Amino acid sequence: MKCEELLAMLNEYVDGTVDPAICQDFERHLAGCNPCQVVVDNIRHTITLYKDGQPYELPAEFRRRLHTTLRQRWLETHAS
């Protein structure tokens, strides 16, 4: 396997859905190719960075309005 071929299958590898037969080739290439190892590692970190980050906070004024609206709607729909 060449680096380019590995690159084309990167999604499947990162997602753990590579065909087991091909997976061995993949692992063998990775074991001997430092740049590919680092690229795979970088991509995993990239995904974690966005998945685990919660970058935006509700503006306080909007949050107040939101909770008031929801409470009113709740009381309307749970009136009976």
Partner 1 sequence: MVETDSDEIWVRQAKAGDLSAFEALVSRHEGRVYSLAQRMLRQEQDAEDVVQQTFLSALEHLAGFREESSFATWLARIATHAALKIIRRRQSRDATATVSLEQNTEPQPGYDTIPHPEYIADWRQSPHKLLEQKELRQTIEGALETLDEKHRLVFLLRDVEGLSVRDTAQTLGLSEANVKVRLLRARLQLREKLTTAFGDPARRLVGGHTHEAGAAAVS
Contact residues: partner 1, CB under 8 A:
1-4, 7-8, 10-11, 14, 28-29, 31-36, 38-39, 41-43, 45-59, 62-63, 66-67, 69-71, 73-75, 77-78
Is 20 or 55 the residue whose CB approaches partner 1 more closely?
A: 55
Residue partners of 23: CB distance under 8 A and separation at least 6: 13
Q: Which does 79 bind (CB under 5 to 8 A by kind): Zn ion, partner 1, none?
A: none
Instruction: Let me know: does 3 contact 36? Beta carbons within 8 Å.
Output: yes
Environment class of 77 (CB within 10 Å of its CB; exposed 0-12, middle 13-18, buried 19+)? exposed
Beta carbon of residue 54, minimum distance to Zn ion (angstroms, whole number): 34
